Structure 1
Amino acid sequence: MTGIAPSIVSFLFLGFFLGMRHATDADHVVAIATIVSRQHSIAGSALIGAAWGVGHTLTVMAVGAAIIVFGVVIPPQLGLSMEFAVGIMLVLLGVLTLTGMGRAVGTAHVHAGVPGGNALDFHEHPHAHGDYVHRHPHGHAPGAHGHAEEDTPLARLDRSGLGRLAFYEWLRPFAVGLVHGLAGSAAVALMVLSIIREPMAALGYLLLFGLGTIVGMMLITLILSAPFAFTAVNLPILNWRLRVASGLVSFVFGVFLIYGIGFADGGLFSDAPTWQPR
C-alpha cells in the first residue's frame, strides 16, 4: 500500500469510534442484555461483550472482504435474510430466557417426598445446578442426589472454560455476534468502498471498526450487568423480574423485526423484495 492521504488515515481511525457507536444499536443492546442478565460478575459480563464483539468482527471482516476485494454483490433476498435472522435470534433469546426463568420458579419445592416425609424420600421435580436445570428422581440426603453437583453437562463445559467464563458462556454471545455481523456487514463495507478505493486501507477500516465494536460492547455490558449483578445478591425477586423483562423485550423486539423485514411492503416474503443496507 503506497502513500495514504492524511484524510484517509483520519477516516480509518474514525472507524474505531463509529464501531463503538455501532455497538449501541438497539438490536445489539437488547440481545446482549438477555445474555448478561444471567451473569453475577461484572468482569464476566465484560468478557461476554468481548465475545460478542469478536463474533461480530469476524463476519464483518469476512463479508466485507468479499465485497471490497472480490466485488461480491449481495442480492436483496440474501441481504434481507441476514437481517431477518437477527429477528429470529432475538425471539429465540427471549424464549430461552423466559423458559429458563419459568423453570427457576419450579425449583422452589418441599424437600420431602410426601407430607411428613424426610430428606431420604426420593421424588422428582425440576431443580437447578447453577444455570443448568433438569429433573430426575433424587433425594436430598448426603449422597442421595444421584450425581455429584459438578457432574452436569454445563459443569463439564465449565471445566474446559476460558478464564473467567466457561466455554458455553462464550459460545452464546459469540454466535449472536456472528449473526449481528452478517446483518450489518454489507452496509459498513459499501460505505467504506464509496470513500476508500484502496482495498487494504478499506480492510484496515473494517478491522478498526471491529475493534471499536468490541470495546463499545464491553462498555455496554459493564453498564447493563451492574443492576443484574447487584440484585442477584441483594434483591433476588427484583433480579428475577429484571431477567423476565429482558426476555420479554427481546421477544417483542424480535417479532417487530421479523414483521418489518419479512412481511411489510418490500419485505423478504413480499412480491418485490427491496433491501437497503443499514
Structure 2
Amino acid sequence: MNHDAAPLGIALLGLMLGMRHATDPDHVIAVTTILSRERRLSAAARVGIVWGLGHTVTVLIVGACIIVFKIAIPSRVGLAMEFGVAIALILLGLGAASDVIRRLATRLSGAPPDPPPSELIVHAHAHVHDAFEHRHPHVHLRDHDRDDTGEHDEHVLSMESIPAISGRRSLLKSFVVGLVHGLAGSAAIALLVLSAIPDPTWAVLYLAIFCSGTVLGMGLITVAIATPFLIASQRLAWLHQGFVTGSGLLSFGFGLFLAYRIGVVDRILGAAPIWMPR
C-alpha cells in the first residue's frame, strides 16, 4: 500500500464531500432565492462563492473548537442553531409571500393592478441647491416619460449603477445566510470528521478542505441554477418573474416547515429536546 497516496485520497474525499454538502436542500433553496434577481452569470456565481465563504467561517471556527477542545453542544443549543436557518429562509422568502398576498388583496378589492416592471423606467433629474448639483432618481411609467420627441434619454438613470447597489446587498445577504447555515451544520460536520480522523490537526485540515469543496460546489451550483433565470429574464420577463416568486415562496414554505419540525417535533422549548446533528 502506498502511504504517500493516503493524504491525497483524504484530501480528494474531503473536497468531494464538501461539494456534495453544497447540494443540501436548505442550502440550494437559500442561494436560489438570493440569486433569482441577478442579471449576470458572474454576479450569480459570486453569490454562491460568498455564501460558501460565510459557511466556511462558522464551520471552521465552531468545528475546530469542537474538534480541538472536545466541546459538547447541548441539544437545545444545537436546535437553536438549526432554528436560525429556518428564520433565515423565512426572511428570504418573506418578500415574495407578502407580494403574493398583496396581489391577491388587490384583485379581491377590485383595485387596478400594479404595472409590470417592463412598463417602469427609472431616471434622474438634475437639481441645484446651494450651488451644488445633484440628481433625484425616481420611477415613472414608460408612457409618462415620453414627449413629442420620444423618451427623455438624457434623464434615464444608468442601469449599470442599479446592479452595483443591489449586487452589494446580495453579496452581504449571501454571506450572512452562509454564516447561519455554517453555524447550524458545524457540529454535525465536526463530529463526523472527528469520528473518522481522531487526530485533531489532521481533522481540522480535513475540515478546511471540506469547506473549500463547499465553496467550489456552491459556485458551480449557482451557475447552473442561474442560467435558466438569466435566459428567462432576457427573453420571457413573465417567466423570470415566476421563477423569482416561486423561489421566494419555496424558501418561505421550507423555512416554516423547518421551524415547525424544530419547534414542535424536536421540542426545542420542551423539557427533553431531541437533537440529532445533521
* TM-score by shorter chain over 0.5: yes
For 2:114, give the aligned amino acid.
G
CA distance in 1, matches of 2:214, 2:69: 25
CA distance in 1, matches of 2:251, 2:193: 31
CA distance in 2, matches of 1:17, 1:243: 30
CA contact (8 A) 1:101 1:240 kept: no
CA contact (8 A) 1:91 1:250 kept: yes
Deviation at 1:12, TM superposition (A): 3.4
CA distance in 1, matches of 2:169, 2:99: 16
- Counterpart mapping for 1:178-257 below 5 A: 178-257=179-258
Q: Which consecutive unaligned segments of at least 5 residues does structure 1 have?
A: 112-131, 160-164
CA distance in 2, matches of 1:98, 1:133: 26
Deviation at 1:6, TM superposition (A): 5.2
1:274 maps to which residue? 274
Offset from partner CA, 1:93-131 (integer Å, 9 cap, x none): 0113444688997354999xxxxxxxxxxxxxxxxxxxx
Offset from partner CA, 1:11-50 (integer Å, 9 cap, x none): 2331110000000000011111111110111121111110
CA distance in 1, matches of 2:18, 2:209: 8
Secondary structure (helix, strand or coil) at the match of 1:207 reads helix
CA distance in 1, matches of 2:61, 2:157: 41
For 1:227, give the aligned amino acid.
P
1:45–1:100 distance in 2 versus 1, CA, 3 Å: farther
For 2:182, give the aligned amino acid.
G
Task: Tell me the matched-pair count.
Answer: 241
For 2:42, give the aligned amino acid.
A
1:77–1:56 distance in 2 versus 1, CA, 3 Å: same
CA distance in 1, matches of 2:58, 2:167: 23
Matching of residue 86 in structure 1 with residue 92 in structure 2: no
CA contact (8 A) 1:52 1:174 kept: yes
Higher strand share: 2
- Counterpart mapping for 1:128-139 below 5 A: none
State the TM-score, normalized to the length of structure 2: 0.76
Deviation at 1:197, TM superposition (A): 2.1
Deviation at 1:198, TM superposition (A): 1.8
Deviation at 1:201, TM superposition (A): 0.8
2:164 maps to which residue? 158
1:102–1:267 distance in 2 versus 1, CA, 3 Å: closer
Matching of residue 259 in structure 1 with residue 260 in structure 2: yes
Superposed CA RMSD in Å reads 3.3
For 1:236, give the aligned amino acid.
A
CA distance in 2, matches of 1:70, 1:179: 22
CA distance in 1, matches of 2:60, 2:215: 13
Offset from partner CA, 1:64-113 (integer Å, 9 cap, x none): 111011222111111000001111111110113444688997354999xx
Higher helix share: 2
Q: Which consecutive unaligned segments of at least 5 residues does structure 2 have?
A: 104-112, 121-136
1:46 maps to which residue? 45
CA contact (8 A) 1:56 1:181 kept: yes
Deviation at 1:199, TM superposition (A): 1.5
CA contact (8 A) 1:77 1:273 kept: yes
CA distance in 2, matches of 1:206, 1:141: 59
Deviation at 1:272, TM superposition (A): 1.0
CA contact (8 A) 2:54 2:179 kept: yes
Matching of residue 26 in structure 1 with residue 25 in structure 2: yes
For 1:46, give the aligned amino acid.
A
